[in-house]
Amino acid sequence: MLYINGEWCESNSGENIEVYNPATGELVGLAAKGGELEAERAIQAASEAYLSWKKTTAKEHYMYIKRAADLLRERTDEIASIITKEMGKPLSEAKGEMNLAIDYLDWYAEEGKRIYGDTIPASAPNKRIVILRQPIGVVGAITPWNFPIAMLTRKIAPALAAGCTVVLKAASATPLTAIEVFKAFHDAGLPKGVINLVNGSAQEIVGTMMASPKVRKITFTGSTEVGKELIRQSANTMKKVSMELGGHAPFIIFEDADLEKAVEGAILSKFRNAGQTCVCTNRIYVQKSIEKQFASLMAEKVKDLVVGNGMQSGVSVGPMIDKKAMEKAQEHIDDAFQKGATVLCGGTQLNEEEYVNGNFFAPTILCNVTHKMKISYEETFGPVAPIFTFETEEEAIQLANNTEYGLASYMYTKDGSRMFRVGEALEYGIVGINDSLPTVAQAPFGGIKESGVGREGGKYGIEDYLEYKFLSFDLE
């Protein structure tokens, strides 16, 4: 189904998106496949609804967002199951994502009450200067498949709290989760046209968003390549943009680190969601003196990870999203192996009987990795962990920063001074220090360099949905 102007509807063409479970290959469900016509209707509905929604009080925004959050909280188990069946992550991870998604709604329901303006001393006794912060207008939101609900609420919540209206295109691999979120807002009584859901052709829907002067902001989570193209297109109508793009996260372990904790952190960061996260570890840098000890301990624990259908109890690593994703992971492993890397564990797709219908890949560790290998500079987006070594703190910083990406980074050390030295030197928007899961609703999430522009989360995340207006009064 599509959700336009407060009503559920089918696409004009009558076509549907078929959603398959990446663990079993089974059809999970159908979602209406919209295009240019539906996108235009949604934009028009959002534009008309904006005229009244922007005047709605912060208290009313709060009430609608909180109602939707409460409904999602009540439906956590049901929606978590849909997430797992659509994109494969273990059910426990899906429930964790549900909690984060609700956290964003809870946070921004409150944050909307704190959109303050200013008064500024004037340059003449007969003048007064007032600064207002007002909603930017209609927002076009484009969300990914790997976090089908958390990325959605992270965009919708601040937009609504700021007084904006939204047209959202969810990933075609995971449209069913998006539908459930819109059901919650519908049941919460949100006015017609304030949020609109158009799943379907990315070229048609996003192209219509980019061309429309009524859409004043684009928020996108996805690849750097696509993000750059959207930024280029946004120039035609001077849209405001926020882009959360690709990453190539370094994970640095110094010789003074708590080794057990560092191994646990590396595994959690690397193999969560089968390595399909923009902030997951891509390069593990281990100080030379502890390389063998670290690699041995990590391999021992990785071999104990249970790969399987995320709906089954005890599964810690689910399937990859599709065959193409598995092929890329295999390509990176083969390239590394041909150039001298050693496969410590894993290294192949899983084809045994219980895996035959799904997209399963063995959690993999590579040693003797060099920076001439593809995996050292291309984002794998899969369960493959390459281990590099370094000698000094300065070398670790240089190696970690030697990339066009700058989203997330991690380091493990007990040295308090080093925590600040290295934390300040790493060229990343997020630095986890002895913390492999730093993302929370109240903190700014986003990257620098080619990992994006803007921030999502916390008080910072609402800024991109607001404009400043300067009122100058002559009192004479």
Positions annotated as catalytic residues are 244, 278
DSSP string, 289-340: GGHHHHHHHHHHHHTTPPBS-TTSTT--B---S-HHHHHHHHHHHHHHHHTT
- Dihedrals φ, ψ of 389, to 5°? -125, 160
Cα Rg of the chain, angstroms? 23
Bridge partner list, 356:
none
Torsion 318-324-330-336 (CA) sign:
negative
For 167, how many CA atoms within 13 A lie in the half-sphere containing its CB? 36
Reference 233, options 241, 222, 244; nearest CA is 241
Q: What are the b/e assignments for 440-466, b being 16+ CB within 10 Å?
A: ebeeebbbebbbbbbbbbbbbbbbbbb
Spatial distance between the Cα atoms of 285 and 411, rounded to a whole number of angstroms: 9
Reference 307, options 380, 382, 379; nearest CA is 382
- Please check whether residue 355 is in contact with residue 88, taking contact to mean a CB–CB distance below 8 angstroms: no
